[in-house]
Amino acid sequence: MSEVLKPGQQIRPNLSVEEARDLVEKLYGVKVESIKELDAYDDKNYHILLKDEAPQGNLLSIWPHGYVFKILNSMDSKKVSYVEAQNKMMLHLTTKNIRCTQPMPNLNEQLLSVEEINGAHHIVRLLQFEPGKILYDIKIDSELCIQTGSFLAEINTALEDFQNAAYENHSTIWALDSTPKLVDFLFAVTDEDKKKLVADVIAAFNDRVMPLIETLPKGMIHGDYNEHNILVRKHSEQWVSDGLLDFGDSQYNCYLFEVALAACYMMLQAKESLTPVHAGTLVVAGYHKLRPLSATELGLMRVCICARLCQSLVMGLYSHAQDPTNTYVLQTAKSGSGWTVLEKTWQISDEEFAKSLDQAFDETKQ
């Protein structure tokens, strides 16, 4: 079993933008025109543009949209074979016509390397930057919710013939079956009512989901299908999901978890006439239309959605306490919407949620 984050561990890379520029030029033999740090949880990511258009280093041509220079946290950097497997997953999906980020070779013709940065060892990679809007930046509607679920089903189907030994026994605090470990981070929640709410969800997950995990359908999943990792484009005046970013949480796990996570983050995007529960159930319906879920999976969906909301809220608070300058980790809690969605979703019954699912299934038939 791989190592899982424990409270108090400092794992984020410690370097300046200037140091990142020097490192990418040294490792990849390129000349950086501009570099900008991007939002990230425990890693450091930079969007870089290169000077000139002539080939540099081992890049056969210069991608006009630039690259992401990714420096992994010190914990994930211990899992070299796992990161190599992520690279292979991205390359595999490309052969299935799924648009996603692509790893680039360094001067040693490797798709990653381990570098010592200010006293700690970190895996570094250069990934081709995929252009386009991310789902977070647009207003969602019913059609996009359904299509986003369907696109996820296409991704899971494309991964059915992908296997890699590095995913065996791999675990992370962000995997949904790590929900029981959230109790170790509850100290980050200072509001007692919210702390009790999370504790109740964890207890329900332990009672209802954990005993059934070994019986649920499993496969390779992206593991972080959220509004910041989904690329969208306009097609006949309708926004559609058509690209995928960030494979850092990819794993072999229950398909139920993949769908619940997708529903959770679309619920956080719901605005105005589209309620969070309706948005989430439409995602499930879009997935279910292409990859039918069992009655057991559908019956556990609400608890799993709430568990993911808890993970995002609690780990966001914890990560912010470790690094107060990183406000990105509080995205789910922004303006209190994450807690509100969690409270309302937890308050409804399984029967009410099932009725919303039935309504969403009907909408996918229209």
Active site residues: 224
Query: Distance between CA 265 and CA 261 in Å, rounded?
Result: 6
SS (H, E, C) 182-220: HHHHHHHCCCHHHHHHHHHHHHHHHHHHHHHHHHCCEEE
> Under a CB-based contact definition with an 8 Å cutoff, are residues 28 and 126 in contact?
yes
- Using a 10 angstrom Cβ sphere, with 0-12 exposed, 13-18 middle and 19 or more buried, the burial of residue 120 is middle
Query: Distance between CA 158 and CA 44 in Å, rounded?
Result: 29
DSSP SS3 for 143: helix
CA-based Rg of the chain, rounded to a whole angstrom? 20
Residue 35 CA, chain-centre distance (Å), reads 24
Find the helix packing angle between 337-347 and 295-322, rounded to 10°.
150
Closest C-alpha to 225, from 178, 267, 168: 267
DSSP SS3 for 233: strand
